[in-house]
């Protein structure tokens, strides 16, 4: 009899408010904009730079933007200092 060598598992983490995880629903530009704007730990000028950066991404690459958010945050801070 053959043994199973791999098992595919999916794990979801519920947020503090009991809502489903961020990635459960398809990402839209509007959802990413709202997510950026709700992040109060980031200065307003940097948030605006992040919005400008995400606007350059096609819908199919929005999850990539969110995954690499720290890199984009660094770039947005640099751009905000230049202005």
- Predicted TM-score (pTM) of the model is 0.69
Please write the tens of the pLDDT for every residue from 7-59: 544 444 445 555 555 556 778 999 999 999 998 899 999 999 999 999 999 99
- Whose CA is closest to 49, among 39, 60, 59, 64? 39
Tell me: pLDDT of 4 over 50: no
pLDDT at 17: 56
pLDDT at 55: 96
């Amino acid at each position: 009899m053959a043994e199973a060598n791999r098992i595919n598992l999916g794990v979801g983490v519920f947020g503090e408010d009991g809502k489903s995880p961020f990635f459960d629903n398809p990402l839209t530009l509007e959802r990413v904009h709202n997510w950026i704007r709700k992040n109060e730990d980031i200065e307003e000028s940097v948030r605006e730079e992040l919005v400008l950066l995400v606007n350059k991404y096609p819908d199919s690459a929005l999850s990539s933007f969110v995954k690499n958010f720290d890199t984009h945050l660094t770039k947005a801070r640099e751009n905000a200092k230049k202005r």
